[in-house]
Each structure stands twice: as structure tokens, then as C-alpha cells.
Structure 1
């Protein structure tokens, strides 16, 4: 693993810990001013800009305060000279949801770029697989 890949891995792990703790400053750290996020809840067109990104988190924190978990299960990082991406699977659910569907995972994809010699998240995408009954 390269130094940049390790830095990005640490960035993502710290972000996930901040999300789980409801730590807004930690969630906001290392995100680009022009971030674009596609999230599970609306808006369908995504969230654009750091202020809109910040505003999207309080409803999630309220939901999570009911006992939900948010933890990385697997994380892969690929880094170039000035751009990188990471993808992860996370457990993101209430205990009841996990009891009913223990294998369900939140999918996370991040696009990062290097700004002033530090990595920032420029694109963030969260999704759950669509459960299709056969």
C-alpha cells in the first residue's frame, strides 16, 4: 500500500468514526468546497457544495441516535498522483434492521483529489442494493 493510499484509508476511517459519533466537524473535515454527494434519501439530483453537504447530515444523526450502527466492513483505495477513489461496504442500520437483514450493506464510493498536498473528498456516493423478490 502506498503512502497516499494509507492516508486516504485513514481519512475514510476517521470520517466513518465521526459519522458514527455524530461529530459534524469530523464529518466535514477533508471535504472539498464543491463536493457533490449522491445519497440514499432525496434530493434525487444530489447535494452540491459544502454548505448543502453540511445541511444533509442532521436528519441522519437523529436517525442514528436511535441506536443505529455505522461501521466499515471493507474498504479498498486506489490513489494516483492527484486523484483517487475508494469504495467500501458498511453496516448502516438499526439493530432491528440488522436482525431482519444481517447481510444488507451500505455501499460507499468516494472520489478524491489532492489540493495543496492534502486529499479531499470531491464526490461521495451512498447506496443500498435494491431488494428484488424473485
Structure 2
């Protein structure tokens, strides 16, 4: 297995801090290390995504309220690739209530992040969350 570079380790730590902030419901921590011009595609609408840090911050409080009812948000696997100024990462997370995870124990939230080096540090410029589409009868597609 290849040795993780310094930038990969920095990005891994950044993402783990972000996930911990999400789990705590810490909006300031969630916003940290995100670009002002972030683009995010999320599970709930708007389907065209959102643009800008202000819009990004508005979607989190309803998620925090839902999560406070006992939902989990935990990274299960995380892969990071980093170039000189651009990087991407993808992860699978356990995200759901105990009932959700009991009903569909294999379901995972998919996370993809695009990062860029800005003013000497890594920032998230693109964030995409999704769940697999499962057709009636249990077939994913």
C-alpha cells in the first residue's frame, strides 16, 4: 500500500474534522476549510445544487435537528488523492437513524469532495452527497 503524502494526510485530517463537526452540529466547524465559492450537490433539493458559502451554511441547521434525534454521521472509508494544487477525496459514511440502519444496514452515504490549494492551505471547493438509488424490489441502479 502506498505511503500517504503530507498533503493527503492534511486533507484526510481536514475531512475527519469536518465530519466530526457535522456529527456535533457545529456549524462553524462545518464551514471551516470551505471555499467562499463552494458548489454543493446534496441529497435533498435543490437539485441544481447550491453555490456559495452562505447558501451552504443554510442547509445544515435542518440536518442538525434531524441528526439530534439520534442519527449517526460517521466516516467508514476515506480515500484521498492530492496533486500540487488540486485534490479529490471520496468516502462512504454511515448516515441515518438506528431504524434506518437496521432497515437497510448496507446503505451508505457517498461523499465526494474536490479541493484546491488556496492561500497556502487546502479548501473544499466542491462537495457532493448521495445515496444509491434503490428501485422497488431492492435492485440498485
User: Distance in 1 between the 2:51 and 2:60 partners?
Assistant: 13
1:55 maps to what in 2? 58
Alignment-derived partner of residue 126 in structure 1: 129
Q: Matched residues in 2 for 1:126 and 1:87: separation?
A: 10
What SS does structure 1 have at the residue aligned with 2:39? Answer: strand
1:99-122 alpha-carbon deviations (Å, 9 max, x no partner): 111110000000000001100000
1:81 aligns with 2:91: no
Structure 1: segments with no counterpart, 5+ residues: none
2:48 to 45, 49, 58: 45
Within 1, Cα distance between the matches of 2:58 and 2:102? 30
Q: Report SS of the residue matched to 1:131.
A: coil
Following the alignment from structure 1 to structure 2, what is the Cα–Cα distance between the partners of residues 22 and 57? 8
Alpha-carbon distance in 2 for matches of 1:27, 1:47? 16
Partner Cα separation in structure 1 for residue 33 and residue 26 of structure 2: 14
The counterpart of 1:30, out of the listed 24, 29, 33, is 33
The aligned runs of 1:66-105 (5 Å cut-off) are: 66-105=69-108
Measure, in 2, the Cα distance between the counterparts of 1:22 and 1:92: 14
Instruction: Give distance in 2, aligned partners of 1:120 and 1:80.
Output: 14
Give how far 1:74 is off: 0.1
Displacement of 1:47 in angstroms is 1.1
Q: Which runs of 4+ in 1 moved over 4 A?
A: none
